């Protein structure tokens, strides 16, 4: 893994093309810039995300800043079928990555990527939102998506690990919106 500084902007080389492409996307997002607007494509991407995990019977709902309230009441991931699909992924990814001898690259991703993402996410979150607990939520949320999106790319050339569900979440973030999470069978976007 190497890091290049160009005009104080870090560029990471994880020695894996697909991981580098995903990392590059994540590190160049203008986080949360279109929160407060509605864009049909965001809803489409959210649907594709859920479909890629074979999750059906979901309502996708836009939520505004004012409606958020206590984020941990609004988003209760663990009571949903989405979580049942998500929670097993890290272990399965790890197993496949270890089998293919790429655990070193995964270690580099886990070590470098969250911190790299943290700074821009925090900047965007602090600029867009005033609620401290929501800012903390967003930081963790972004790190979670980032690490898993890249881990999936690392495993992606192994049989059966094709379409990256997290790539749809990254699409939504690139559009300046937020795939917040779920509560029961409702998936919230902002």
What residues line the site for another protein (CB under 8 A)? 5, 8, 111-112, 114-115, 118, 122, 126, 132, 135-136, 139-140, 143
Name the residue nearer to another protein (CB basis): 7 or 160: 7
d(CA 89, CA 6): 35
In this complex, which beta carbon is closest to another protein, that of residue 26 or of residue 143?
Answer: 143
**C-beta of 43 vs 114, nearer to another protein:** 114
Pick 50 or 149: Cβ nearer another protein: 149
Q: 18 and 154 in contact (C-beta within 8 Å)?
A: yes
Least distance between another protein and beta carbon 44 (Å): 32
How many helices (H) and strands (E) the chain has is answered by 8, 5
Least distance (Å) between residue 54 CB and another protein:
29
Q: Determine how many CB atoms are found less than 10 A away from the CB of residue 4.
A: 9
Give the shortest CB-90-to-another protein separation in angstroms: 12
Q: How far is the CB of 85 from another protein (least distance, A)?
A: 22
In terms of CB distance, is 76 or 136 closer to another protein?
136
Q: Within 13 Å of residue 15, how many CA atoms lie on the same side as its CB?
A: 9
Q: Between the CA of residue 58 and those of 47, 82, 95, 146, what are the distances in Å?
A: 9, 9, 30, 24
Both tokens of residue 174? 């690139």
d(CA 149, CA 165): 8
CB of residue 104 to another protein, shortest distance in Å = 16
Q: Kindly state the DSSP code that residue 164 receives in the 8-state scheme.
A: -
């Amino acid at each position: 893994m190497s890091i290049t500084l160009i005009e104080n902007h870090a560029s990471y080389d994880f020695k894996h093309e697909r991981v580098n492409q995903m990392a590059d996307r994540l590190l160049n997002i203008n986080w949360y810039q279109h929160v407060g607007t509605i864009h049909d494509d965001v809803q489409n991407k959210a649907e594709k995300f859920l479909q890629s995990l074979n999750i059906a019977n979901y309502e996708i709902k836009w939520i505004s800043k004012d409606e958020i309230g206590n984020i941990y009441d609004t988003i209760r991931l663990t009571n949903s079928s989405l979580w049942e699909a998500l929670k097993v992924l890290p272990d399965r990814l790890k197993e496949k990555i270890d089998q293919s001898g790429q655990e070193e690259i995964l270690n580099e991703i886990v070590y470098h990527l969250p911190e790299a993402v943290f700074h821009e996410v925090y900047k965007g979150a602090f600029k867009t939102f005033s609620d401290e607990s929501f800012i903390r939520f967003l930081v963790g949320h972004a790190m979670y998506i980032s690490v898993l999106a890249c881990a999936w790319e690392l495993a992606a050339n192994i049989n059966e690990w094709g379409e990256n569900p997290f790539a749809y979440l990254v699409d939504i973030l690139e559009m300046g919106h937020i795939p917040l999470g779920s509560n029961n069978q409702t998936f919230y976007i902002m």
